[in-house]
Structure formats: structure tokens, C-alpha cells
Structure 1
Amino acid sequence: MDSNPEIPAEEPANLKFLRRLVTTLTATMIVGLVVMITLVVIRLNASTPQLALPDYITLPNGTRATAFTQTPSWYAIVTADDRILIFNRDSGELTQDIRVTSRP
């Protein structure tokens, strides 16, 4: 054992290398995590174009709407009697009437 406790013993070269490697990897992981969080925040805050809702929708008599979806060229209404009504966005006219049936 050393007789002088104030002077630390020299670290082996492998231990120095391992200590530097772990420190470098830790710093790299921290920087990578910060970059990923920043990119997610930027992506979530990016403005997406919002489609305007139609002013009014004329449904066939006796039809009750249960759901609505839209694209830039059409919008669709799902009805309580298991139909999907697809309307043209520009003219507002009914273009398709799709009946949804259940499989036995």
C-alpha cells in the first residue's frame, strides 16, 4: 500500500479509456434525446391546413347523421340506418349512397 495517501495512484489506460467512452456515450445520448424532443415539438406545432366545414348539409328525409368525415374533394355522413352518404364538396350534391351490411 502507498505510504502517501495524498497522491492518487495512476489509473490503468483501459480504465481511462472506458471512463471517457462512457462519458462520451452519455453526452451523445443526451444530445440525441434533446434533438428528438425538439423535432417532435416542431412537428406537432407545424400548422396543418384546416378544411372548412360546409355551411349546411341537406340530408334525405328521415335520415339521422351519426358521424362526419371530409377530404379536400368530398365529405361523408354516416347515418343511423347504416348508410354512408358521400357529397361533392364544391356542389354539395349527393354523389354516392353506400349501404353498409353486416356479415352473418
Structure 2
Amino acid sequence: MDQAPENDSDQPLVTYLKRLVTAMAIVMIAGFVVLIGTLVIRLNADPIPLPDRVTLPAGVSAVAFTQGTDWYAVVTDADTILIYDRGTGALTQTVGIDR
């Protein structure tokens, strides 16, 4: 007898809030799945060539390393830039640095 009567005017608002919370949960779960999928794809990709994987000519050592879409280059201590093909790993060009 001390209970207040239920207010039917709040029922549409409660239903709206339930749907909003459900939609937000679905969006968050989908975002988490996309994030995990992106990490899996990224971590399973072929590794980029790094300076320790590059075969340099005898007697030179790498000072700097840079890369493009289909090539990578190593600056050596002998003031030369060695440009390699990314697909084959073959030396394609040698550029001397004049001082």
C-alpha cells in the first residue's frame, strides 16, 4: 500500500535507454573485433628488411637505413648509398657521396 503507482510515461524512455545501451555494446564489441583483426593481420605480415638482414659488401658497415615501397637503401661508412630491390634483395644501384 505504501508503493507508488508505476508511471507509464517513463516506459518509452526506459525502452529507448535499453536499446541505446545494447547498440553501444554491439559497437564496442565490433570495434574490439576489428582491433584484434588488425593486430593479427599486421603481426602476420612479412617483416620489412632491416639492416641486420642486408648483405653488405666486404669491409663496409651501415651508418643509416631507409626504405621506399619497392626498394631500401643503406648508407655506408665508405660514403656510398647502396640501393637494393625489396623483392629480390639484389643490389640495384650504388651512389657515391661527394663532399
Picking from 3, 7, 11, the partner of 1:11 is 7
CA distance in 1, matches of 2:85, 2:35: 35
Which deviates more from structure 2 when the two are superposed, residues 80-89 or residues 31-40? 80-89
Q: Does structure 1 conserve the Cα–Cα contact (< 8 Å) formed by 2:74 and 2:81?
A: yes
Question: Residue in 2 aligned with 1:102?
Answer: none
The amino acid that maps onto 1:92 is A
Q: Is the 8 A contact 1:84 1:98 kept in 2?
A: yes
Partners of 1:43 and 1:77 lie apart in 2 by 30
1:95 to 84, 93, 96: 93
Could you list the runs of 5+ residues in structure 1 that have no partner in the other structure? 100-104
Report the TM-score when normalising by structure 1.
0.61
Alignment TM-score, normalising by the size of structure 2: 0.63
Residue of 24, 45, 51 corresponding to 1:29: 24
Identity of aligned residues (%): 22
